[in-house]
Amino acid sequence: MVDGNATVEHLREQNARLKEQIEEREKTILALRSHCANIYERLHANSIEAAHLIRPIVEAESTNAGHCILCGGEAPTSSRQSNVVPLKERK
């Protein structure tokens, strides 16, 4: 007569084996997350701001277009206006 004890024992062993696999994989995932965070930290530390790359291009295209290509405002001028008057020109 079969009472199901063998099936129950088999399922318990399988459950224990699967729990061990889950623990091993969780350890692997944590190690990979740490490694991934380290990679992104290094990339961030060694990268430059995009503004340094984009600003000259946008300024040149805006000057050629005669207006700001981003907002539609006035084009940036090469010489910035100043309220400082040179003493040589003042009379």
Q: By three-state DSSP, how is residue 70 classified? A: coil
Asked whether the beta carbons of 61 and 69 are under 8 A apart, the reply is yes
Cβ–Cβ under 8 Å, residues 68 and 75: yes
Task: Quick: pLDDT tens for 32-44.
Answer: 999 999 999 999 8
Q: Where are the domains of the chain?
A: 1-47, 50-80
- Rg of the chain over Cα atoms, rounded to whole angstroms, equals 34
Tokens of 59: 């300024």
- Residue 21 confidence class, pLDDT cut points 50, 70, 90: very high
CA distance 82 to 28: 61
Q: Which pTM was predicted?
A: 0.46
